[in-house]
Amino acid sequence: MTDAYGKSPPFQPQDWLEPVNMNSLRIGRLNRAKKELFEKGKFGAFLSLNEWNTRYMTSTYTPPWTSGNSGLRYSLLVRGDEHPIVFEQGDIAYHTQRSSPWLPAENVRYAITGMGWIARCMGDSAHKAAVLRFVDQIYPELKRAGVQKEVLAMDFFDPFIGAAFEAKGVKVSGEGFMSMLAARKNKLPEEVECLRNTCMIGDSMFDALVKTARPGVSEHEILGEAFKACYKNGGEVYSGVFVTSGPYSWPNLRHSTGRRLAHRDVLYMDVYNTSWNGYKTCYYRTFSIGEPSKATKAAYKRAYDWLYDAMSVIRPGITSKDIAARWPAGPDVWGDIGVVHEDQTAGNNWAHGIGLTLYEPPLVWRGCSIDHPMEIEEGMTFAIETQEGDGEGQGVRLEEVIRVTKTGIEILSKWPIKEITVINC
């Protein structure tokens, strides 16, 4: 195997080495879903149109264009059943059946294409007909297990689907989404290992930035090399990753413009939604083309101190308020960009859970956490980030990915952070 910047996928399994036990990952996730849905939620079954909940329960995967609540594929978990049922999109079921030996072959079936948001593209009459076929496909499974009179949990809301189930006497609830958030908020050891791998792929993308960024080079060229590093190292990008520089670094544009770099430009990259085995990262680092100004260095130190001061209090039992209170109020520090209310600071100094999706519990931000605190628990994994302007028209952004341990935290992101990364050219 090679290092993080080599040509081999990180932690490629060998016959004598198994850094991530995928079978334990599959079983552990399914058991957690069952516990939240059936032991705590008391539901009769769970119907998922959300791609990431389906992946969590079934450990199956199809391309990102099916993601969200498209309804191109879906899954059903019935109380008392050992395995979930996957209703796969079109002939992809052929591959899913062959590549998922942990599921009985009969548990991989075809989907009634037209559920979720895709349904609205089919026309009114086709949509209504598809909904009836969909309900007729699911109802026999509920009746087989004797749960047709119990509550069917769903992770989506569609009035047409709900009405069709209720016409058959099935009660439906959208609370399945909250049960799955509860199942996913505390990570298994195997999930943490996946996140470590994703952070390492992020490091390879930062390395590509350092090797590419020079005066005259465009942000787009940097992104091209970063994406190359990601895929070369076994990663995947799901609707994410940007580089922003110079005047667009303050406030944070959160997008790339393609501008060309100049000497003493500040730039930062967020490798958000980069994934390995489905597990995402959100991970910023800041760079300078040549030696940064004293003002930029001072801004960097403020952002670093805010970040690490907040991280220093994190341990099981504290609340999100304890973290958010370590950050200054937005209007007190960002008047230069017109901030007068915390709603204008969403996404600035904050933290968010990270896993199969970019946002999972907890969310930490002064705009919600001061008045509505959440308890921090062992096993949570989240990205925590800060930013600051230098008063000269540029800004910095920093972020770490962490795991909450019994006594504190483990930092999963490894790119150097104590000082701004200077690119000498």
Cis amide bond preceding 362, omega within 30:
yes
- Name the one residue in this structure whose structure tokens are 């017109």: 338
Segments of the chain assigned to CATH 3.90.230.10: 189-423
What does 345-397 look like in DSSP terms, one character per residue?
GTTSSEEEE-SSSS-EEEEEEHHHHTTS--B--TTBEEEEEEEEE-SSS-EEE
Confidence of residue 122 (pLDDT cuts 50, 70, 90): confident
pLDDT of residue 11: 60
Residue 242 amino acid letter:
F
pLDDT digits (tens, 9 = 90+) for 43-81: 999 999 999 999 999 999 987 676 666 778 999 999 999
Per-residue tokens: 120: 């609205």
Q: In terms of Cα–Cα distance, which of 175, 182, 156 is closest to 361? A: 182
pLDDT of residue 14: 74
pLDDT digits (tens, 9 = 90+) for 233-271: 999 998 899 999 999 999 999 999 999 999 999 999 999
Mean pLDDT over residues 183-205, rounded? 97
pLDDT digits (tens, 9 = 90+) for 29-43: 999 999 999 999 999
Inter-axis angle of helices 22-34 and 51-58, nearest 10: 110
Q: Which residues pair with 404 in a beta bridge?
A: 409
Mean pLDDT of the chain: 94
H or E stretch covering 404: strand 395-404
Strands (E), 140-290: 151-154, 171-173, 236-237, 242-245, 266-270, 274-276, 279-281, 284-289
Mean pLDDT over residues 197-220, rounded? 98
Q: Report CA dihedral (307, 313, 314, 320) to the nearest 10 degrees.
A: -80
Segments of the chain assigned to CATH 3.40.350.10: 22-184
Residue 228 amino acid letter:
K
Whether 156 has a pLDDT exceeding 60, the answer reads yes
Q: Percent of the chain at pLDDT above 70?
A: 96
Q: How far apart are CA 243 and CA 224, in angstroms?
A: 11
- Fold assignment, 189-423: Creatine Amidinohydrolase (3.90.230)
pLDDT digits (tens, 9 = 90+) for 392-418: 999 999 999 999 999 999 999 999 999
pLDDT of residue 69: 65
Strands 274-276 and 284-289 come out as unpaired
- Fold assignment, 22-184: Creatine Amidinohydrolase; Chain A, domain 1 (3.40.350)
Strands 151-154 and 45-48 come out as parallel
pTM as predicted: 0.94
Q: How far apart are CA 66 and CA 31, in angstroms?
A: 25
- Name the one residue in this structure whose structure tokens are 């908020």: 185
Q: How far apart are CA 272 and CA 199, in angstroms?
A: 10
Whether 6 has a pLDDT exceeding 80, the answer reads no
Q: Decide which of 89 and 31 is more confident.
A: 31
pLDDT digits (tens, 9 = 90+) for 286-307: 999 999 999 999 999 999 999 9
> Which backbone phi and psi does 306 adopt, to 5 degrees?
-60, -45
Q: Provide Rg for the chain, Cα atoms.
A: 23
Whether 5 has a pLDDT exceeding 50, the answer reads no
Whether 177 has a pLDDT exceeding 90, the answer reads yes
